[in-house]
Copies of this chain bind each other. A is one copy, B any other.
Amino acid sequence: MNSLTEENYLKALFNLADDKGEVSVNDLSKSLEIKMPTVNSMMKKLAEKKLVYYESYKPLRLTEKGKREAGLIIRKHRLTEMFLVGKMNFGWEYVHDIAEQMEHIKSPEFFEKMDELLGYPKVDPHGSPIPDKNGKIALKEYNKLSECQVGETVIFAAVIHTSSEFLKFLSNRDMHLGIKIKIKSIESFDKSMTIIYGKARTEILSNIVSERLLVEKV
């Protein structure tokens, strides 16, 4: 059994992994706000437990076992978020901090029940996929809204780097997952984007915003 601390390292490793699955000690240190020497020794410990491949001065990688355990923690986090929004009427901007604590609860039955009551959802309230019972995560073929062209119509599918302020910003403009968005124009000097959605509603989004919105092409 892994400690709460170990679980937090595993989750951060999973979330920071690039396409090769590699993470630097430095990035992990910054993400967890824990100094590098502490991270370094924890990596040796996780390597002992066969959760991480560790070699001096090389990037870190989760083992299959590590990926599985991280995936299961993320599964608990995202199921909880879904439950809080779907069954307890929380707004999507309030659920992260609670899920951050609930994800460490040891009780397969509890999360099984949540999953069942929710009807086995595939994504969480922010559009992120929920890993399956083996910790496997389906990777979605989404595009950033910022990379779409003028004239395209897309479906708003997920948000990345979901701070509660940003989520409130979206809610205030009635921008919910699933809505259709048409790109009316893009300013060349700052890449700000004018979009149309809902009942002929128009908004101008800065590039900072459009980079955080993931969409599906129709």
State whether A113 touches B88 (Cβ < 8 A): yes
Q: Is A98 interfacial (CB-CB < 8 Å)?
A: yes
State whether B109 touches A94 (Cβ < 8 A): yes
Q: Which residue of chain B lies nearest to A87 when distances are taken between CB atoms in the complex? A: B87
Q: Which residue of chain B lies nearest to A106 when distances are taken between CB atoms in the complex? A: B101
State whether B106 touches A89 (Cβ < 8 A): no
Task: Identify which of residues 103-149 in chain A touch chain B, using a CB-to-CB cut-off of 8 Å.
Answer: 104-107, 109-110, 113-114, 117
State whether A97 touches B107 (Cβ < 8 A): yes
State whether B90 touches A98 (Cβ < 8 A): no
Q: Is A102 interfacial (CB-CB < 8 Å)?
A: yes
Task: Identify which of residues 75-100 in chain A touch chain B, using a CB-to-CB cut-off of 8 Å.
Answer: 84, 87-90, 94, 97-98
Q: Which residue of chain B lies nearest to A104 when distances are taken between CB atoms in the complex? A: B101
Partner of A101, one of B88, B107, B109, B114: B107
Nearest Cβ on chain B to A62's Cβ, whole angstroms: 25
Partner of A98, one of B84, B98, B107: B107
A residues sitting closer than 8 Å to B (CB atoms) are: 84, 87-90, 94, 97-98, 101-102, 104-107, 109-110, 113-114, 117
